[in-house]
Structure 1
Amino acid sequence: MRKLLVILNVGLFFAACSPNNVQVNEEIGKYFDSTGVKGTFALFDNGTGDFTIYNLNRYKDSAYSPASTFKVVHSLIALETGVVSDEKMTIQLDSAVTMETAFKNSIVPYYQEVARRIGKDTMQFWLDSLQYGNHSIGKSIDSFWLNNTIKLTPDEQLGIMKRLFFNQLPFQKRTHEIVKRMMLRESNANYQLSYKTGLTYNENGDQLGWVIGWIEENKHPYFFVLNMEAPSNISLVDARILLLKKILSNQGFFEGKR
């Protein structure tokens, strides 16, 4: 039987901040179980400094390929360097595709071309400056975020989301704001939900899925990261968002009452 809630009052250090109040909520595991996946979830309340985490060890100690969540940092670098002028800039693939479309629909060839235009040295400079995961590009400038070359922890992902929201990354304000606009996916009177998904394969052949971002209610941001993996016979394309929304609903979101 799962323990409903464990409170840790220890000096844990996470990339996003250094909370004194960490709630390890094993009840959240039932949503992973019902989906047929394993993984971790973390929610950070910026106003109180409280963390709610399922599977703490995976959250802070295990590193994974970012897959298309790298498009967040990729876009920041492309905009800051001028390789991409703004979210409406097109690159001709089979048809003309804008960065905004490529970001929201995870169109890999667009960002592969952007990576080639940025170049390895410039990309490496920014990965080092951001201390992004293990900083590793390897031999392929246009696939390192997909093939398990560069890896980072869910904790590091959450830290990036918080710094992006508050314009605290080493980029101009305009660069931050363009990427934040692209991340906004749902907006109504009760909440605004911003996120980026990712999907690839681990070295063992299992699927790896991500959703990273934040939800705002009453102008108050809560940052989240969802990391999950499953055998190839389980589709994670839709399961990622469905799982995220089940967990957020369990935590009291979507009604404008947080």
Structure 2
Amino acid sequence: MKKNTVLLITNSLLLITLFSCSVNKAKIDNSLKKYFDENKVDGCFTLLNNADGKVTVYNMQLDTQRFSPASTFKIVNSLIGLQSGVITNDTMMIKWDGIKRTNEDWNKDMGMTEAFKVSSVPYYQEVARRIGKDTMRRWIDSIGYGNKNISGPIDSFWLNNTLKISPDEQLGLMKRLYFDQLPFRKSVHEMVKGVMLQEDNTAYKLSYKTGWGFDEQKNNIGWQTGWVEENNHVYFFVTFVKAGKEEIDMKAVRKNITMGILKQLGFFEGKK
């Protein structure tokens, strides 16, 4: 029993080390604060230069706190769905349940690629139901995702502040996904990376997934997490936004902040 306990602790520490990025060596860049101030929100930004391992952070305190992943969980939901065979490929259709929702983009039959791009909550809730609690828990534990808590309904734990992950841990997940280091087939990694690609031109490639939800106090929280590639170099980034309870154009805010910061750091010109 003692040997098993030691082994479990060792494995858990290894997962934590692999899954998050070291913030001890991070360069704090407070000049990035202005992008959050301009959009009247709080938040943090983290960037990892894979070539030299250097990390740039604004607002370390938020970077290491855990929050609901909201729709960024669609990355992992897709990985588990594909690995388990619940999603057969990136065009697999799930029929619309006939319930009309505010987001008109969700009110139709669709495949995985479209569901990922329009961030369809109903599609991925059905995927989670088909995966089931036991299989979902096994994979969440295996990759060491955040607090690993998927208690309650199988189709809402990533939306209702049950499951939580920190921006730093999201950064670690992006790196492991990019380099096919998660415990899924290579083809599964490649398919999910394919649907994350948002911009592809001669100067750079930009891949990410966004998320928008609410914390326990009903404050808006938003995510934009992914990577940018220039001249065969990859940089991983996470933008986290925390706003008040008032209405907010989160889609515009998180994009303004992310693109503004990346431009300030010299991206999008093919010179990195």
What TM bracket, shorter-length normalisation? over 0.9
Unaligned runs of 5+ in 2: 1-16, 97-106
1:203 alignment partner, one of 216, 219, 224? 216
Higher helix proportion (structure 1 or 2): 2
The yes-or-no answer on 1:125 pairing with 2:138 is yes
CA distance in 2, matches of 1:241, 1:14: 28
* 1:180-195 equivalent positions in 2, closer than 5 A: 180-195=193-208
Contact 2:19–2:176 (CA under 8 A) maintained in structure 1: no
Structure 1 residue 168 and structure 2 residue 168: aligned?
A: no
**3-state SS of 1:209 partner:** strand
TM-score of the aligned structures, taking structure 2 as reference length: 0.88
- After the TM superposition, which residues 68-217 of structure 1 pair with which residues of structure 2 at under 5 Å, given as runs? 68-93=71-96, 94-217=107-230
Residue 245 of structure 1 is matched in structure 2 by 259
| 1:36–1:20 Cα change, 3 Å | closer
The answer on 1:37 being equivalent to 2:41 is: yes
Q: Give 1:54 deviation, angstroms.
A: 0.1
1:187 maps to amino acid: D
Listed one character per residue, the Cα deviations across residues 113-145 of structure 1 (whole Å, up to 9, x for unaligned) are: 000000001000001111111111121100110
CA distance in 1, matches of 2:55, 2:68: 23
Letter in 2 for 1:176: H
Moved more, 131-140 or 174-183: 131-140
Deviations along 1:74-96, whole A, 9 cap, x unmatched? 00000000000111001001432
Q: Does 1:54 align with 2:85?
A: no
Q: RMSD of the alignment, in Å? A: 1.3
Which of residues 210, 231, 236 in structure 1 aligns to 2:250?
A: 236
**CA–CA distance in structure 2, aligned partners of residues 188 and 177 of structure 1:** 19
Say whether the 8 Å CA contact 1:71–1:111 is kept in structure 2: yes
How far residue 20 of structure 1 moved from its aligned partner, in angstroms, is 6.7
Gaps of 5+ in 1: 1-12
Letter in 1 for 2:73: F
How many residue pairs match? The answer is 245
What is residue 3 of structure 1 aligned with on the other side? none
Find the aligned partners of 1:51 and 1:120 in 2 and give their Cα distance.
36
Asked whether the 8 Å contact 2:129–2:155 carries over to 1, the reply is: yes
SS at match of 2:110: strand
In structure 1, how many angstroms separate the alpha carbons of the residues matched to 2:25 and 2:70?
A: 30
Q: Is the 8 A contact 1:217 1:256 kept in 2?
A: yes
Q: Quick one: percent identity of the two aligned structures?
A: 51
Query: Against the structure 1 CA distance between its residues 142 and 154, is the aligned structure 2 distance closer, same or farther, given a 3 Å change threshold?
Result: same
Higher strand proportion:
1
Q: 1: CA distance between counterparts of 2:19 and 2:34?
A: 27
- Residue in 1 aligned with 2:103? none
Offset of residue 237 of structure 1: 1.7
